[in-house]
Structure 1
Amino acid sequence: MDLNIRRTFTLIDDKRVEAGRRAETPLRKVAVIYLLENPYIGRYVEDLSPLIEASEGLGRKMAQTALKALDGMPVQSYGKGGVVGLSGEQEHANALLTTTFANPFREAIGGAQAWISSMTKVAAPGTVIDVPMNSKDDVYVRSHYDGMTLLIPDGPMPDEVAIIFCLGTGGRINARVGGLRYEDLPTSA
């Protein structure tokens, strides 16, 4: 199956200050959003494996877009999400966000064996979605529990699916709730 990409967005958020305290290194978060034509509008399809298989190429394209936005900065966290237009099913986004889709991101950024948090929903154009994020190497690194709040202008239309992948270069600025530290992971060396 060929996925028809209608629009793409890349958001770069460089956060430098939290609670009045300047970070030594800015926290960069990147969101890559691809709006696709939903091939299953108006009918129930039992076998969604064609979407799953096609998602690998989508993941590769989106990973390359994300790497450009990161401009060589290392990745420590990630998350994924999807918003399905009102004429589709939530399962359409979930089929596009499986491990098949995510593995190209893991390959591109290295390491990244931790579970990838996700959020999907069916919604009208312009709906806000909160994409959860966690450490790419261990979900128990509390400082990296974070997310990105995104709004897709004029999308997704009823016959579209918005697929989202978010990456971060570190944990929350001023994180101080204890627990496992990213620097102490064997994979962070």
Structure 2
Amino acid sequence: MNAPFSHNALTIRRQFVLVETSLAEQGVESDLPLRKVAVAAVIKNPYAGTYAENLDFFIRESAALGASMAKAGLEAMGPYDIESYGKAAIIGLAGEQEHGIALITTPFGDALRAAIGGGAAWISSFSKRAAPGTPIDVPLAHKHALYVRSHYDGMTVQLPDAPLPDEVAIICCFANRGRLNHRLGGLAAGEIEGLDGLR
């Protein structure tokens, strides 16, 4: 794989593309494997160690980051379509939580949706300040409707040696289907089209 994504303004120290494929659960094999992909960028945080009222630099640059990370996610998903997504930020301890949020807010989300071919639902997210190597659970939900119960899921991501205190790790996750063996009813993925108010 080529460099999964790039950015001219943000300083990216490390990049990760993690792929997890599940073929069966509780001895029940699936005709369609569940593939989850996590894409992560470890970014230098110019706001670390100080308070800045204006975080526009991160907000402005996040759109291009979201588009390139989504492109890497599509590539890693291989033959499968993306049905669900989520995003997260781990902020190094010299930064503040707001720094991570600035990188995954609306411009990032809109660019990510566009790059994967659209998504009507808002993107579930989680963020926290933490030391390098701290795991984070990235929530997943259906890209068109949060109420699709079969797609309530997540992916645990742990980045070795990241983020350092003056860095932010941005993570987006994707899945090609709902949970294996999902059987709890609710709105089905095939019933979404034409329904309103499901964001």
- TM (norm. structure 2) is 0.91
2:121 pairs, out of 114, 119, 134, with 114
2:158 pairs, out of 126, 151, 162, with 151
CA distance in 2, matches of 1:21, 1:126: 33
Question: Partner of 2:24 in structure 1?
Answer: 17
The 3-state SS of whatever aligns with 1:134 is strand
Is contact 2:74–2:82 with CA below 8 Å preserved after alignment? no
CA deviation after TM superposition for structure 1 residue 69, in Å? 0.5
Question: Partner of 1:136 in structure 2?
Answer: 143
CA distance in 2, matches of 1:8, 1:27: 23
The 3-state SS of whatever aligns with 1:10 is strand
Q: For 1:157, give the aligned amino acid.
A: L
Residues 127-155 of structure 1: CA distance to partner in whole angstroms, max 9, x if unpaired? 01000010000000000000001111011
Identity %: 51
Q: For 1:16, give the aligned amino acid.
A: L
Greater shift in the superposed pair: 99-108 or 21-30? 99-108
- TM (norm. structure 1) is 0.96
Question: Partner of 1:7 in structure 2?
Answer: 14
CA deviation after TM superposition for structure 1 residue 2, in Å? 1.6
The 3-state SS of whatever aligns with 2:172 is strand
> Which 5+ residue runs of structure 2 have no aligned equivalent?
1-7, 195-199
Question: Partner of 1:37 in structure 2?
Answer: 44
Q: Pairwise mapping of residues 49-64 of structure 1 onto structure 2 (< 5 A)?
A: 49-64=56-71
CA distance in 2, matches of 1:70, 1:100: 23
CA distance in 1, matches of 2:63, 2:79: 23
CA deviation after TM superposition for structure 1 residue 111, in Å? 3.0
Question: What CA RMSD, in Å, does the superposition of the two structures yield over aligned residues?
Answer: 1.2
Q: For 2:32, give the aligned amino acid.
A: T
